[in-house]
């Protein structure tokens, strides 16, 4: 019994540790259900698989023993291993990429002196939201 998916991604789960260079932990599939012979999913549902054990053309077998047939062209993406659970909750790899790019951590902040001087002035004038 197989599950057929489309709009699919082959997701490389990257283990980013500060002590070594990034390594591929494993691969999973993420896609939309077309047909599910196993009865677990409805058409239009998403699936994020367990780790992929093997591949034969467009059919992938997972460590849990499930078989997935991929229709059409897929996309290869790399995702941080810590975000695997986000994918399993239904966020697509492209949505995850958009979210991460929207959360920019490289913004310039004022110097601590400038920041705290501003906060102190707001506190004295009663404008502070932290009362």
pLDDT in tens, the chain (131 residues): 999 999 999 999 999 876 678 889 999 999 999 999 999 999 999 999 999 999 999 999 999 999 999 999 999 999 999 999 999 999 999 999 888 877 755 556 566 666 566 656 666 666 545 44
Q: Would residue 89 count as lying in a domain?
A: yes
**pTM of the model as a whole:** 0.74
C-alpha dihedral sign at 64, 65, 67, 73: positive
For residue 131, what pLDDT is reported? 44
Q: Would residue 108 count as lying in a domain?
A: no
Number of structural domains in the chain:
1
What residue numbers bound the domain in which 29 lies? 3-102
Q: Would residue 96 count as lying in a domain?
A: yes
């Amino acid at each position: 019994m197989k599950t057929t998916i489309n709009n699919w991604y082959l997701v490389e789960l990257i283990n980013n540790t500060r002590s070594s260079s990034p390594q591929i932990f494993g691969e999973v599939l993420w896609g939309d259900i077309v047909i599910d012979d196993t009865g677990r999913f409805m058409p239009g549902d998403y699936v994020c698989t367990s780790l992929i054990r093997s591949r034969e053309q467009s059919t992938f077998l997972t460590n849990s023993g499930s078989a997935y047939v991929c229709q059409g062209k897929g996309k290869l993406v790399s995702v941080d291993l810590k975000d695997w659970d986000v994918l399993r909750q239904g966020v697509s790899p492209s949505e995850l990429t958009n979210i991460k790019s929207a959360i920019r951590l490289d913004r310039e902040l004022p110097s601590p002196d400038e920041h705290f001087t501003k906060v102190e002035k707001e506190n004295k004038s009663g404008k502070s939201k932290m009362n």
